[in-house]
A and B are shown apart, each in its own frame.
Chain A
Amino acid sequence: MTTTKPARPLWKWVLSYAGRRRGGLSLLATILLLEAAAQAIVPWTMKLLVDHALLGVPLPPTLDWLLSDDGEPPSGRALIVLCVVSLAVLHGLTSVLGVVQAGLNATVGQRLTYDLASDVFAHLQRLSLRSHSRMSIGDLMRRVTADCGAIATILRDALLPAIAAIAMLAFAFAMMLTLSVPLAILAALALPALGVAFRRYTPPIMDRGYEYAQAESEIWGHVEQALSAVPAIQAFSAGGEADRRVGGAYRRVLVSAVALTHAQFRLKALSGLIAATLGGLMLVAGTREVQSGSLTVGGLLVFLAYLAIFFAPLDTLANSMSSGTEAAGAARRIREVLAEHEEVAERVGAVPLHVPGGGAVSLELRSVTWGYTEGRPAVDDVTVHIPAGRTVALVGASGAGKSTLASMVPRLCDPWRGEVFLNGRDIRDFTIRSLRDHVAVVLQESYLFPVTIADNIAYGRPDASDDEIMAAARGAQADEFIATLGDLKGRTGLDAHVGERGVKLSGGQRQRIAIARVMLKNAPILLLDEATSALDAESELAIQQALDRLMDKRTTLVIAHRLATVQKADRIVVVDHGRLVDVGRHADLVRRDGLYARLAELQFNLPAAAD
């Protein structure tokens, strides 16, 4: 996938999503800080218990003032009760906060994930068919459903804990300073060491994370493709081959999983080693301090407790860096999709197209050039003019660029060069939605959605009444077979559900549903791309009559290999290898003895051969 616009820095991009869930995230951050605070108080309570309640060291003046009862210092037992109660309360509080945090974690994380997934899905829907021809649906499925979780990992599982960890670190450091300055400074040495470790060992984690996600998505690609082509795989006994492909993809996943684990381990081991070494040094230094009398045993205990509190956030930081950078690898895949250039973008200031009721529009494709691959145009400098309400037929060999020309009208692709005009105005001046609302298309391959037959027919017009849907079905000669349909749940006729990819219906039946869609949509521009290729002669004849009525006042572009269906066009445009080779009416073209005449001759001699 190629990135075509400079990407915003990752952190800016991540923060823009954090902004949308600022409430939940700040609540979560507050809870994390409260938890940290509760944790931070525990050692002090322990110190109170050990030094003052058990070892009988006199209370410091502040506490003495706070706890003394009419000048009497509190008894050991009273202190014990105080400490125990406060410890219990602190633990209970931590527990409750933990639960709230878990709940929030789930909610905020999912919202973040689906905010992003929704953006990615919307972007994918806007991308042109050319972009999609280069992307695997399985891969995109994984990006939308799995990789989008990266944003939650980065924000919720890495950034927030890191913030809490840093706060905790600062607090613990301050406490350690009050207890013993040299020890605290020794502990602080951990920070630069870890900084170096992070710098050195996080980039490989991001790369391995990206590779792992890529390897996983390869599986999705294979699975989706294979399951969409099951009849071919079975008929060609290619099941074993498909198994091998998926197996190979899984082996690559395992290799990347191992590489990722290694990269993460390096960071974890190094930061752990730094912490453990410093911890050991502190123990030795602390012992010395106690021996020299500058620190009480309770003081050392508290100090060591803070040391633990000091190192726990370091550990958290290391984990955050590790999981955050792995997720950043997956996020890279999301940003690739989002950076995919919208070839067909709405112009700033585009206006809604409005065609007065029943009015016809004129259409002109002027010197248009377009192709799937740069430098290899599938359509090269072709001009087609369709006066309002007239019909133009595109004729040419398969692969000549006919479908490509038609797909420029609803802007499924925009020409590299040249323009398309509607009533003399560049179609890019109109909003995409309003333009497409005015174009009805029967595509070469009829795709049915996994909804009811009625919803499929009413796909372009969800407001259509049952009568209108039925009328459209009749016009497309689809009413008879629809009446015989029934799905597994016993719904019949128009209410029957179409299975995945509509394969329960034959090719001709699907095509008739697609034609019914167009009849119902009733748009002023009609594009028929091999609209009746899958139909038998009898249905075709009947549908052709209905289509003729539909084409009557509409501006129509017809593509057909069967010359019989295009002879009645007001004008025939002959294309070959992406170039326009001839324009005229049937009789003129036949007389000119060019490509059209050859196509026509073959077409009409064929039945004769069987005589």
Chain B
Amino acid sequence: MSAIALHSGAWRLVLSRSPLPARGLAVIWVLTLAASGAALLQPWPLQVIIDHVLGDVATPVWVRWLRGLLPGAGTTLGAASWAAGFAIALFGVDALIDVRLTMRWVRTVQGAVHGLARALFARLVRRSPTFHAITPVGDSASRITGDSWCLYNGASALIFAPLQALVVGAGAAIVMFRLNPKLALVAMLMTPAVVACTLLLGRRAREAKGEEREAESRLESHVQQTLTGLAVVQTFAQEHREQARFGVLTGHAMAAQHRGALIAAASAAGAGMLATLALSAVLGIGANEVLAGRLTLGTMLVFVAYQTTLNGQLVSLASAWTSAQGVRASVDRAAAVLREPPEVESPAAPSVLPPVPSGVRIEFNGVRFRYPTGREVLRGISLTAAPGRTLAVVGPSGAGKSTLAALVPRLIDPSEGSVSLNGIDIRQLALEDLRSMVAVVFQEPLLLAGTVADNIRLGSPGASREAVEGAARQAGAHGFIACLPDGYDTLLGERGATLSGGERQRISLARALIRSAPVLVLDEPTASLDSVTESAFLDVLESARQGRTTIIIAHRLCTIRSADQVAVVDGGVVLESGTHDELLAHHGAYANMWQLQHDDRHTKVPAGGVL
């Protein structure tokens, strides 16, 4: 019972994000009804011809009236021609309704699917990097592009298929009762059994569909992961292993799909067999009635035609129910995304940071950060970057430096403690405002599809070409960009694959510099730069840092020359901090690192070199 309650919640959640427009649905309802009406009318021209024109069954008033009204319908042949004309006209009406209906489906229902997909995307792209660290891209993509179709399949299986089946079925049933109540009763006898049989299988259908979706999304994840790491796969000659894994995953998907198909088939078989039983009963009894003269042949034939229609509707109702159960699996997967709020959100009543001409002071106050796995990477860090000054954070890799950097634009929030700008906790600022004040250069360039200019413009949408070029020049990227086939309009390959590591890094730098933000966060910005470029970059930085509060993270001390303050971080805590000279004099961790790099230089330069 609780599962059902949870489930209706899932539907409600999904529909609240992407409502199926009532007007559009209403139009579809009306068109569906019209289509059903046309379907109901189809056997009539034939019946009129057989019973009343060719046969000698007493002609109803309306037929006589019609034959009198329509020119030429008095003769047998004329009546047949009119009947044929009606049949063609009916087809025309049917086709017109059909195309309107299909278009409505595409625009209204597929439109809602797109709305849901966009809502899922918008939510997922706002989840924290921590969430994405443990959620495969393939799984998220599969929810956006695959499970969003639950609205379409749901509308079809839960609203329209039953509607059409009920209308056509009820119509057929009414006609059947009017034609011959006794036969109609016999025909209906099996209906409850069909319903019971379908309901029994629903749960299994849902489970099978759920497994199928999971298996498919694992397969998609595998494709995505293998292609992303293809360089490693190829150099380690492990294609066969990834292929084998692909085979295993397709096997799982196939098994799940197969079970689903079996359940659907069993449900259809049950309904079909029961319908057949009913039909044989009607045929047997009906023929007897005809022999006894209590039923005309035409009536019986029409009756059987209607019963076949009714049976068809019953079977389609049964399979609609089965597929509706399958839709629930996708609804749950979509709702799971929507139910989780983004880890980082704007406050309801954001404060506004008053402009301070002297710049922004950044403070980390007893900051701790713990991964969902329980590992604590920051254990109480307190640091201050003075306005317009540069704070360098150094330390061994894995010390928590990048985590510290991610706190400033609130990619993640600390588990304990706070980060503040000019004394205001950044969680009190509107997210948009905060992030517009921060420009970040990541360790990995994280370039997107699109042109070079698009990528630089990410930092400042709507920036002019001059601004883009200016930023690129500043970042030392203009030279190589100008050499690209289409310059700034060159389309970057997947993740900028056609560029070297250093080139990608410089584009990501330009992307940060174009943003005239008062806070600059640089996470190992020069790790993949050669010394010429690095040196030029450090010069650029020198000027870019003017008036900006800068946090620079590095494991190489040369990168942090002229930092105003240096903090040494290891094991998630600040070991020491101060100016370069103070730290050297302190003879602590920093002095050791300095010594190491210093010595390294001397031991490696051969004696007698010009240096």
Contact = CB atoms under 8 A, between A and B. Distances in A.
B286 to A, nearest CB: 9
A329 interface: no
Interface stretch (A17-25, A186-194, A435-443, A467-475): A435-443
Contacts of B92: 273, 276
Contact of B125 (A230, A268, A281): A230
A126 B239 CA distance: 8
Contact of A125 (B45, B144, B226, B555): B226
Contacts of A102: 261, 264-265, 268
Contact of A443 (B84, B232, B394): B232
A132 B227 contact: yes
A110 B448 contact: no
A487 B373 contact: yes
A227 B87 contact: no
With a 10 A CB-CB cut-off, give which of A232, A505, A587, A609 has the most chain B CB atoms.
Answer: A232
Nearest to B79: A287
Contacts of A257: 106, 110
B532 A254 contact: no
A484 interface: yes
A517 to B, nearest CB: 8
A567 B558 CA distance: 19
B265 A103 contact: yes
Interface in B133-148: 133-138, 140-141, 144-145
A250 B117 contact: yes
A594 interface: no
Given A54-B290, A504-B371, A533-B527, A269 B580 contact: no
B273 A92 contact: yes
Nearest to A103: B265
B74 to A, nearest CB: 14
Contacts of B555: 508, 534-537
A607 B531 CA distance: 12
Contacts of B191: none
Nearest to A105: B261
Interface residues of B, number: 184
B297 A231 contact: no
Given A280-B87, A602-B535, A125 B230 contact: yes
B416 interface: no
Interface in A26-47: none
Interface stretch (A133-141, A170-178, A361-369): A133-141
A221 to B, nearest CB: 6
B518 to A, nearest CB: 15
Interface magnitude class on chain A: 35 or more
Contacts of A512: 397
B397 A398 contact: no
Contacts of A54: 287, 290-291, 297
Contact of B268 (A98, A254, A279, A538): A98
B611 interface: yes
A597 B611 CA distance: 10
Contacts of A423: none
A590 B611 contact: yes
Contacts of A98: 265, 268-269, 272
Contacts of A462: 241
Nearest to B492: A133
Nearest to A435: B237
A482 B5 CA distance: 44
A265 interface: yes
Contact of B527 (A235, A261, A534): A534
Contacts of B145: 142, 216, 219-220, 223
25 contacts: A54-B297, A77-B291, A103-B265, A114-B250, A117-B246, A121-B246, A137-B227, A141-B227, A145-B219, A220-B141, A220-B145, A239-B126, A243-B118, A288-B80, A397-B502, A397-B533, A398-B530, A410-B235, A441-B236, A443-B235, A539-B397, A541-B596, A587-B609, A600-B611, A610-B562
Given A54-B287, A110-B258, A297-B55, 4 more contacts: A91-B279, A145-B223, A232-B458, A441-B236
Q: Which 3 A-B pairs have the closest CB atoms?
A: A508-B397, A398-B502, A106-B261
